[in-house]
């Protein structure tokens, strides 16, 4: 088996203890250095405080790893040349001995392979604006349509076409529920301006849905738990609208395409909101990580 599951994660899984998978692209490509390493460690600590074991996922020297030690986390955060790996890139990275951070799609796949059912991230990828011209839709969506995992996120990044992304999730058959809200969260914002059809209010309710997914034995699809950033920690909506418009223009003007689009836009927002978008992003991720740990605990309690 090429997959390396850390001893701590393996023991927790074997003992039926809660484990939360964490994504690494946000560390390597979504957050600025040196803050990114501190955040990576802080998120792992938050999972532990809620009584679960963190399993940050990445590929190092061609080995997909579920559960990283401090040195390995440092490599993801600080090494130049750490790639961004979607699920399609995994075989290429493995065969060539490459190192890379995993996006939601690659993280979800590796977590599911390792038997980790709950996964926390910031915001999912999705359908980009101007999709009709670029056909840019994150591989996150397609992978979640065929992977049995629960993803706790603050919605999809607001740099995307949110209603188109919600529509694609519906078409693909991916379950979506708001956590404590009937509004789909807007990543930096508590409310994207779009509703969700289902609302869950406790970790136990989420775990019940997970069990129902298994009992129904339909297509192996994910459950998205959309957890809003607290309103008092969100980015000012007016600032958000203004800077986002500028960011989208800059992206087009500079001809940024493909994998580079998402990191470019996220970085633009950080620089042009004086770091306020970063704080909102982190507040969202922190909340998601804590909730994911509580869901993992409810899931393992059975």
- Which of the residues are catalytic? 23, 157
Q: Which residue number, 247 or 295, has a Cβ lying nearer to Mn ion?
A: 247
Q: Which does 123 bind (CB under 5 to 8 A by kind): ligand PSU, Mn ion, none?
A: ligand PSU
Task: Provide the 10 A C-beta neighbour count for residue 88.
Answer: 13
Q: Contact with ligand PSU (CB under 6 A): which of 6, 99, 103, 288?
A: 103
Contact region with ligand PSU (CB under 6 A), list: 26-34, 142-150, 166-174, 207-215 = 26-34
Report the partner that residue 99 touches, choosing among ligand PSU, Mn ion, none (CB closer than 5 to 8 A by kind). Answer: none
Is residue 123 near ligand PSU by the rule CB under 6 A? yes
231: region left, alpha or beta (phi > 0 left; psi from -120 to 50 alpha): alpha
- Return the residue of 64, 122, 155, 178 that touches ligand PSU, per CB under 6 A: 122
Report the distance separating Cα 119 and Cα 285, nearest Å: 11
Sign of CA dihedral 47, 53, 58, 60: positive
Check residue 259 for interaction with ligand PSU (CB under 6 A). yes
Rounded least distance, CB 102 to ligand PSU, Å? 7
Of residues 142-201, which lie at the interface with ligand PSU (CB under 6 A)? 157
Task: Outline where DSSP puts E strands in the chain.
Answer: 4-5, 19-22, 53-60, 63-66, 83-85, 100-102, 118-120, 150-153, 175-179, 183-186, 189-195, 199-200, 223-226
CA distance 249 to 246: 5
**Residue 228 lies near ligand PSU (rule: CB under 6 A):** no
Give CA torsion, residues 16, 18, 19, 20, to 10 deg.
150
For binding to ligand PSU (CB under 6 A), which residues are involved? 23, 25-26, 29-30, 103-104, 121-123, 125, 138-140, 157, 259, 262, 266, 281
């Amino acid at each position: 088996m090429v997959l390396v599951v850390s001893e701590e994660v393996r023991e927790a899984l074997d003992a039926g203890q809660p484990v939360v998978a964490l994504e690494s692209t946000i560390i390597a490509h979504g957050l600025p250095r040196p803050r990114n390493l501190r955040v990576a460690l802080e998120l792992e600590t938050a999972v532990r405080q809620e009584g679960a074991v963190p399993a940050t996922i990445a590929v190092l020297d061609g080995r997909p790893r579920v559960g990283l030690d401090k040195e390995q986390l440092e490599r993801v955060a600080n090494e130049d040349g750490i790639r961004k790996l979607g699920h399609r890139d995994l075989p290429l990275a493995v065969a060539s001995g490459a190192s890379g951070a995993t996006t939601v799609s690659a993280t979800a796949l590796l977590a599911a392979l390792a038997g980790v059912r709950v996964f926390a991230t910031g915001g999912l990828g999705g359908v980009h604006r101007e999709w009709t011209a670029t056909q840019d839709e994150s591989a996150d969506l397609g992978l979640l349509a065929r992977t049995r995992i629960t993803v706790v996120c603050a919605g999809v990044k607001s740099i995307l076409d949110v209603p188109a992304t919600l529509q694609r999730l519906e078409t693909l058959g991916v379950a979506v529920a708001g956590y404590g809200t009937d509004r789909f969260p807007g990543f930096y914002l508590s409310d994207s301006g779009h509703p969700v059809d289902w609302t869950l209010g406790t970790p136990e309710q989420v775990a019940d849905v997970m069990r129902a997914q298994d009992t129904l034995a339909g297509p192996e699809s994910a459950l998205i738990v959309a957890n809003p950033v607290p309103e008092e920690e969100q980015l000012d909506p007016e600032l958000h609208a203004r800077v986002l418009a500028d960011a989208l223009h800059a992206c087009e003007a500079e001809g940024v395409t493909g994998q580079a689009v998402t990191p470019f836009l996220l970085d633009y927002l950080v620089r042009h909101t004086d770091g306020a978008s970063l704080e909102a992003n982190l507040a969202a991720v922190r909340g998601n990580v804590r909730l994911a740990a509580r869901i993992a605990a409810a899931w393992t309690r059975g």
